[in-house]
């Protein structure tokens, strides 16, 4: 991304009206990036194996998971993605993998998943807005793909990019965020066995509103790290820019580890509302690293998690 946009727009307090009244409308380049040229069949129903990394918490229903979404490319409200995401063409799809890797190239989705064992990972999912779900993802470790393309020792971070296709993504025809949406991980986070590329939910190909056909899931971090509809993965030497830390650097950090002891400047992160729990359900306590402390705390040994939030 060549330009840094500054704004007081926050993930959770914007409405379409405010955006239309207050935000400069940025016309995105009309020539949308073609997703790729390698044609192939859509992913069929997925054969998956269970994973020891799954939580035994009760998963949300597919209905809940596909009707309460954050995917600003399709609008700001939680139901906009369900209403609008059908316009996105996800087949064919390819991912450009490059930077500090031995085998850079444009890989078709069929190629990426060929020979890969898809695992069913039931993960807690915690949005920075203090709601949460339990989602039965189907996917595989990001490490599997990174190992295949050969990450070079000089690569310390991985950068990710969502497809840029304003003709199919109405939110990209507005200036609500700088497009395309970008995210990043430190290399050890990217290589961690909990970090997956997900291609489905409940054994079905990824619903479009959830980031079809392939999205990142990093369960110990706030949801905005889990970038959707990925078309580019780049191994880099320096910490890459990320969409939300550019929008509001004092509110959304690069690390974004779920941490009940570090509140958001405008709300508490000590508890969360589980979607589907009903209007009167009690909030539940938010767990350090979203309950994955045992697995990931070692990654952050000696780091000041207030400074690197």
Ligand X SMILES: Nc1nc2c(c(=O)[nH]1)N[C@H]1C(S)=C(S)[C@@H](COP(=O)(O)O)O[C@H]1N2
Residues engaged in binding ligand X (CB under 6 A): 11, 69-73, 127, 162, 181, 210-211, 223-224, 226-229
- Looking at the Cβ atoms of 11 and 151, the one nearer to ligand X is 11
Whole-number minimum distance, CB 11 to Mo ion, in Å? 6
- Looking at the Cβ atoms of 151 and 220, the one nearer to ligand X is 220
Whole-number minimum distance, CB 11 to ligand X, in Å? 6
Choosing among ligand X, Mo ion, none, which partner's interface includes residue 28 (Cβ < 5 to 8 Å by kind)?
A: none
Rounded Cα distance, 43 and 234, in Å: 24
Whole-number minimum distance, CB 73 to ligand X, in Å? 6
Residue nearest to ligand X (CB): 223
- Looking at the Cβ atoms of 65 and 151, the one nearer to ligand X is 65
Q: CA torsion, points 133, 194, 294, 305, in degrees to nearest 10?
A: -80
Which residues here bind Mo ion, judged by CB under 5 A? 70, 127, 223-224
Helix (H, G, I), strand (E, B) or coil at 59: coil
Comparing C-alpha atoms, which of 62, 86, 46 is closest to residue 198? 46
Whole-number minimum distance, CB 228 to ligand X, in Å? 4
Rounded Cα distance, 234 and 149, in Å: 11
Comparing C-alpha atoms, which of 215, 235, 234 is closest to residue 226? 215
> Are 197 and 139 contacting, i.e. CB atoms less than 8 angstroms apart?
yes
Choosing among ligand X, Mo ion, none, which partner's interface includes residue 73 (Cβ < 5 to 8 Å by kind)?
A: ligand X
Whole-number minimum distance, CB 197 to ligand X, in Å? 13
Rounded Cα distance, 91 and 100, in Å: 28
- Looking at the Cβ atoms of 70 and 195, the one nearer to Mo ion is 70
Choosing among Mo ion, ligand X, none, which partner's interface includes residue 264 (Cβ < 5 to 8 Å by kind)?
A: none
| DSSP secondary structure string for all residues of 75-92 | -SSTTHHHHHGGG---SS
Angle at 233 between CA 229 and CA 238, to 5 degrees: 130
Choosing among Mo ion, ligand X, none, which partner's interface includes residue 181 (Cβ < 5 to 8 Å by kind)?
A: ligand X
Whole-number minimum distance, CB 164 to ligand X, in Å? 10
> Are 246 and 114 contacting, i.e. CB atoms less than 8 angstroms apart?
no
- Looking at the Cβ atoms of 145 and 230, the one nearer to Mo ion is 230
- Looking at the Cβ atoms of 11 and 96, the one nearer to ligand X is 11
Whole-number minimum distance, CB 222 to ligand X, in Å? 7
Q: CA torsion, points 207, 211, 216, 217, in degrees to nearest 10?
A: -50
**223, two tokens:** 């949801």
Choosing among Mo ion, ligand X, none, which partner's interface includes residue 257 (Cβ < 5 to 8 Å by kind)?
A: none
- Looking at the Cβ atoms of 126 and 165, the one nearer to Mo ion is 126
Rounded Cα distance, 163 and 140, in Å: 21
Phi, psi values for residue 171, rounded to 5°: -65, -30
Choosing among ligand X, Mo ion, none, which partner's interface includes residue 165 (Cβ < 5 to 8 Å by kind)?
A: none
């Amino acid at each position: 991304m060549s330009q840094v946009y500054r704004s007081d727009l926050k993930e959770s307090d914007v409405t379409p009206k405010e955006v239309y009244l207050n935000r400069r409308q940025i016309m995105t380049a009309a020539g949308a990036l073609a997703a790729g040229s390698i044609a192939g069949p859509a992913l069929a129903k997925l054969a998956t194996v269970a994973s020891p990394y799954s939580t035994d918490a009760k998963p949300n229903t597919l209905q809940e998971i596909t009707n309460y979404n954050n995917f600003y490319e399709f609008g700001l409200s939680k139901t906009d993605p369900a209403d609008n995401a059908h316009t996105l063409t996800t087949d064919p799809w390819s991912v450009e993998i490059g930077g500090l890797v031995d085998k850079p190239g444009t890989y078709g989705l069929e190629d990426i998943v060929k020979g890969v064992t898809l695992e069913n990972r039931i993960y807690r999912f915690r949005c920075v807005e203090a709601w949460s779900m339990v989602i039965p993802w189907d996917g595989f470790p990001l490490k599997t793909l990174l190992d295949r393309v050969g990450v070079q020792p000089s690569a310390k971070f991985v950068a990710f990019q969502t497809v840029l296709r304003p003709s199919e993504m109405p939110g990209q025809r507005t200036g609500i965020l700088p497009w395309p949406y970008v995210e990043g991980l430190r290399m050890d986070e990217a290589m961690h066995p909990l970090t997956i590329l997900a291609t489905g939910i409940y054994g079905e190909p990824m619903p479009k509103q959830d980031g079809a056909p392939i999205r990142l899931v990093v369960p110990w971090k706030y949801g905005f790290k889990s970038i959707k509809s990925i078309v580019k993965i780049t191994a880099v030497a320096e910490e890459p820019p990320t969409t939300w830390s550019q929008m509001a650097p004092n509110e959304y950090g690069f690390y974004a580890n779920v941490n009940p002891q570090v509140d958001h400047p405008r709300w508490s992160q000590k508890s969360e509302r589980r979607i589907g729990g009903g209007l009167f359900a009690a909030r539940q306590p938010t767990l350090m690293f979203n309950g994955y402390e045992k697995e990931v705390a070692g990654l952050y040994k000696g780091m000041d998690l207030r400074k690197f939030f």
